[in-house]
Structure 1
Amino acid sequence: MSEMPNRRAVLGAGIALAGGAAALTTRAADAAPLPLPTPGPSRSPAAPAVAADTYVAPDGPEVMAREAERGAGPLRKVSLTATASRFELGDGVTVPTWSYGDRLPGETVRVTAGDTLELTLANHLAQSTSLHWHGLSLRNDMDGVPGLTQRPIEPGAEFTYRFAVTQPGTYWFHPHSGVQLDRGLYAPLIVDDPKEPLAYDKEWVVVLDDWLDGVDGSTPDAVLDELTHGAGSSHDPAGHGAPAPAKGTGEAPSRLLTGAESDLLGGHAGDVDYPHYLVNGRTAGAPSVFEARPGDRVRLRVINAGGDTAFRLALGGHRMTVTHSDGFPVTHTETDALLLGMGERYDVLVTAGDGVFPLTALAEGKGASALAVLRTGTGALPAATVRPKELDGRVLTADRLTADASVALTAREPDRTVPVTLTGSMAAYDWAFDRKPYDPAVRMPVRAGERVRLTFANRTAMWHPLHLHGHTFALARPGGGAPGARKDTAVILPGRSLTVDLDADNPGLWMLHCHNLYHAEAGMMTVLGYLR
């Protein structure tokens, strides 16, 4: 999810480095900071084009004032290295990839709400990279989007992210540079609640992923090239990466997906044919095992870190009680199964039975699944292809959830309504908002303090998980009623509309994009920009 400089030639300019804690160091002299790009016309029909200095800068005084309001709690320091690596996924599958340290997923970063997190990322990759904190409301210059909120972290350099963490919940982090997320560069971020209201005995962090990197010579860059008919040969923000191998050379098989259909997703399920699906870095034939005791109350924190796959998740022999969506509490709701789009997270509670139980993540519409195991007693591991009956029971989606009263948005008419149309097709692979591929100089303007309503109309034949940085929004309920769940990522089905409300309470320049990684790289990204 980068700025894609070569494909659209819109990012000749970068941005000035954020000062203070956002220190970037390299082994060579840094280039002089460059100005923000000049914006083009607003997407809001009521707003005229405005000059670049009319927008709040990522490190501007408005951003610093908002960060000061969050306070400075106990400091939690973490060091992280992005590096080339090699992992055994199970079933005899060993792949070269990139990762955070020597783990897949990367080691969980854990803080308490109220802490200040200081994480230094050392880049040992051959390409520049970045780190985005998915779901957090944080200071804008720490959001990790090269060409918008920071300059790329060059090979051999390091960058220190430092910011206050205020909202408890289940989050994760990953690069926002090209298609790097579809390698092994992701890890959970758990923010504990110092006044935790839930009672449970054990916690199980569950990370779902679709995997192709290093399998038969495949790479995410080569897949993007195949999808875009060769138009996406270089996606490294600084241009350090070598072009992806061309198709038809025998270096890797085709990864185009055909015939994948799902009623839950409104038709076509995805674009990419992944050879493996993982839970916590393991294939279904060699699953990770979580141990508990019969009767234990277990909290599952589930993250969909996939690039192109929705997962339908169920725990055999159990019903799940959903307690949180995207980090925010909801009215507790029982279900047999969950549907998670890319980037979505759910927290659920289960009371463990006695035995060995499959946690199956069905790759929705793709005819395959991932597996992990809950063990509380004796018994053999379930077969890799096990399909618990709960997968065919009640499947919960976010639109059925109600926000907990503690986090529900107060009723208020919007000060600004911004219509956004999703456009594009699989054939042309020209995904965009309003038929305009991503240009970081084009912003949807808002003002601090406004209640903003975003109305999305999906004019494509594909479903899209939409993600907004730095904010959560409330899903609007048709006809009113109880306030919808607070989310930062929401699925919009083909031919449907989606209305969300948010409070503009975090100044800066914030990405809004499809969290299908390949749709985003094809152009389905834009910027929500605060006016001064």
Structure 2
Amino acid sequence: MTTRRVFHRRRFLQLGVGAAATVGLAACSSPSRAGTTPVGPNSPKVAAAESARRAAGAAKTSVRLNAVTGVVDIGGVQVNTWSYGGQLPGREIRVKRGDVLSVELSNELPAPTSIHWHGLALRNDMDGVPGLTQDEIAQGSQFTYEFTVPDAGTYFFHPHSGVQLDRGLYAPLIVEDPEDGADYDSELVIVLDDWLDGVDRTPDEALDELKRNGMGGMAGMDHGSMSAMPRSTLLGGDAGDLVYPHVLANGRTFRDPVAAEVKAGQRVRLRLINAAADTAFRVGLPGVRMRVTHTDGFPVKPVEADMVMIGMGERVDVVVTMPDGAVPVFAIAEGRDQYAQVVLRNPTTQMAPAGPEAVAELAKLRVLMAVELEVADRVAVPVKQPDVVHDLVLEGPGERYDWTINGKPYDPKDGLPIRQGQYVRLRMKNKTTMFHPMHLHGHTFHVRANGDRGPRKDTALVLPGRGLDVDFVADNPGQWLTHCHNVYHGEAGMMAVVSYVE
């Protein structure tokens, strides 16, 4: 068991490896509709939006980051994978709201790569989507991402190149709010993942098999058949497309978890991040209730819960009070007979944490879904009639694992047009038998639920056969991806562009 101390608020973690230089950005110039011109990443409007966000004299944090190949220990299992700096997750980046973040990425991978700053309303030319907002970062080259960090909260970063997210290329990005900290004493970031890379195949091999043979292509693989594919009553149908040999919490299997030292009675803010490619998690602590305070970086009206559901790409912050002894934070893979854990342990005790029987008991408790949360008054935006409505009809998989939006696979030149200043509604309709965590780049949206008091988020679950309306203010010009954060669905076509035009 690896022991780590929790992060005490108002301390900063500095990160530095590698070297970098800038390369050119891709410009989007093809019209998305007759008579309209997209606002590309190199548009003066993008630069003007960044200038408005950046305060005079803003502090700057500079980071050097290497994307590398190598062996990583995930808890008694050695895997050859790709990672940031040779560790899993990559080292956390921590800044304050309003800071300027500069990250120099050196690509030492055998393939092009990129970095997407998940959840941040940043400048469009730094969003990290090859072919839409930038050129790919070629093998052996460097790129510098630099942008103002506008909103406090729990975020993370990962590639937007193929299925690289399903390797070890992810790390937390924590944006501190100077006004936070009155209701907790310390904090701990927990990153959840599903793992197959380096065990019996790579993510690219898994995707190729799905595309060749459809969902039936998973049958006959070493880790199960279609009869073993995950199902979830809570999520309304299929719970995943792959059978994973491991699930992880902070890069470790349940057999060799990370342990954090926490004194009894201390209030701990747990920043929970689901970086998995294909797996939703139920998270809870046996015998300890959680106070849910944030989702996707933005505050909600606090509510008590036994367990919370976290879909791929979602983040949830909770505060717990540490009991005597030791207690695990269990992450139960939805629809799968698997779990991961991080152990909170009083430094004066040798008590062993609860075992698998506690997982079974915890799984029986009520699970809080993000759609049930209510936005905090201080970040609520008045509800109004939308200026423009775009339907996003989610369909798939086809015979060769085709996932689509509005009957079409992803085309970066075929955008959903909006104009700066509009109040926009995305009306998502799920016609599939699987849930989709739908993510919008460059904005936060308001989930139209709970009497129109639903939370502010950037990623939301759309359940099978159901719909979900989300609204946002078009205040960040550029070309922005919206997609399913199941990385296999997105790469197989379930992506579209929300396109600012003029």
Q: Same fold (TM over 0.5)?
A: yes
1:89 paired to 2:74: yes
Q: Which of the numbers 154, 157, 161 marks the counterpart of 1:170? A: 154
Q: 1:129 touches 1:177 (CA, 8 Å); kept in 2?
A: yes
Q: Which of the numbers 134, 137, 141 marks the counterpart of 1:157? A: 141
1:436 paired to 2:408: yes
Which residue of structure 1 lines up, in the alignment, with residue 22 of structure 2? 24
Q: Which of the numbers 164, 183, 186 marks the counterpart of 1:180? A: 164
- Written as runs of structure 1 = structure 2, the 5 A alignment for 1:195-206 is 195-196=179-180, 198-206=182-190
Deviations 1:21-46 (A, max 9, x none): x9635xxxx8xx876363455xxxxx
Distance 2:21 2:109 in 1: 19
- The offset of 1:255, in angstroms, is 6.6
Q: 2:372 touches 2:449 (CA, 8 Å); kept in 1?
A: no
Q: 1:256 to 1:78 in 2, by over 3 A?
A: farther
Distance 1:526 1:307 in 2: 19
The AA in structure 2 aligned to 1:105 is P
Displaced runs of 4+ in structure 1, greater than 2 A?
22-25, 33-41, 252-259, 381-386, 388-391, 425-428
1:367 paired to 2:374: no
Q: 1:528 to 1:482 in 2, by over 3 A?
A: closer
Deviations 1:426-446 (A, max 9, x none): 654111101100000010011
Distance 1:85 1:191 in 2: 29
Deviations 1:401-457 (A, max 9, x none): 010011111122111111111111265411110110000001001111111011011
Q: Which of the numbers 127, 139, 146 marks the counterpart of 1:143? A: 127
The AA in structure 2 aligned to 1:327 is G
Distance 1:60 1:69 in 2: 15
Identity of paired residues, percent?
52
Which residue of structure 2 lines up, in the alignment, with residue 17 of structure 1? none
User: How many residue pairs get matched?
Assistant: 477
Distance 2:83 2:155 in 1: 18
Which residue of structure 1 lines up, in the alignment, with residue 430 of structure 2? 458
1:527 paired to 2:491: no
Which residue of structure 2 lines up, in the alignment, with residue 286 of structure 1? 256
Q: 1:65 to 1:349 in 2, by over 3 A?
A: same
- Written as runs of structure 1 = structure 2, the 5 A alignment for 1:68-467 is 68-72=51-55, 73-90=58-75, 92-196=76-180, 198-216=182-200, 218-229=201-212, 253=222, 258-376=228-346, 377-383=349-355, 386-387=358-359, 389-425=361-397, 427-467=399-439
Q: Which of the numbers 426, 447, 456 marks the counterpart of 1:475? A: 447
Distance 2:320 2:39 in 1: 45
Distance 2:239 2:187 in 1: 31
* Alignment RMSD (CA, Å): 2.1
SS at 1:453's partner residue?
Answer: strand
Distance 2:317 2:210 in 1: 34
Q: 1:336 touches 1:395 (CA, 8 Å); kept in 2?
A: yes
Which residue of structure 2 lines up, in the alignment, with residue 518 of structure 1? 488
SS at 2:379's partner residue?
Answer: coil
Q: Relative to structure 2, which stretch is displaced further, 407-416 or 461-470?
A: 407-416
SS at 2:91's partner residue?
Answer: coil
Q: 1:315 touches 1:388 (CA, 8 Å); kept in 2?
A: no
- The offset of 1:388, in angstroms, is 5.8
Q: 1:409 touches 1:483 (CA, 8 Å); kept in 2?
A: no
SS at 2:420's partner residue?
Answer: coil
Structure 1 portions without partners, runs of 5+: 1-21, 42-48, 232-245
- The offset of 1:256, in angstroms, is 5.9
Distance 1:197 1:82 in 2: 33
Structure 2 portions without partners, runs of 5+: 1-19
Deviations 1:116-143 (A, max 9, x none): 0001000001100000000000000000
SS at 1:529's partner residue?
Answer: strand
Q: 1:320 to 1:310 in 2, by over 3 A?
A: same
- The offset of 1:195, in angstroms, is 1.7
- The offset of 1:103, in angstroms, is 1.5
Distance 2:345 2:106 in 1: 37
Distance 2:184 2:26 in 1: 50
SS at 1:477's partner residue?
Answer: coil
Per the normalisation by structure 1, the TM-score is 0.86
SS at 1:189's partner residue?
Answer: strand
- The offset of 1:254, in angstroms, is 6.1
Deviations 1:287-341 (A, max 9, x none): 1111101100000000000000000111112000000000000000110001011
Which residue of structure 2 lines up, in the alignment, with residue 38 of structure 1? 30
The AA in structure 2 aligned to 1:155 is Q
Distance 2:126 2:403 in 1: 27
The AA in structure 2 aligned to 1:89 is I
Q: 1:434 to 1:367 in 2, by over 3 A?
A: same
Distance 1:411 1:320 in 2: 30
The AA in structure 1 aligned to 2:211 is T
Distance 1:530 1:513 in 2: 17
Distance 1:61 1:317 in 2: 54
1:62 paired to 2:45: yes
Distance 1:339 1:454 in 2: 23
Distance 1:127 1:285 in 2: 33
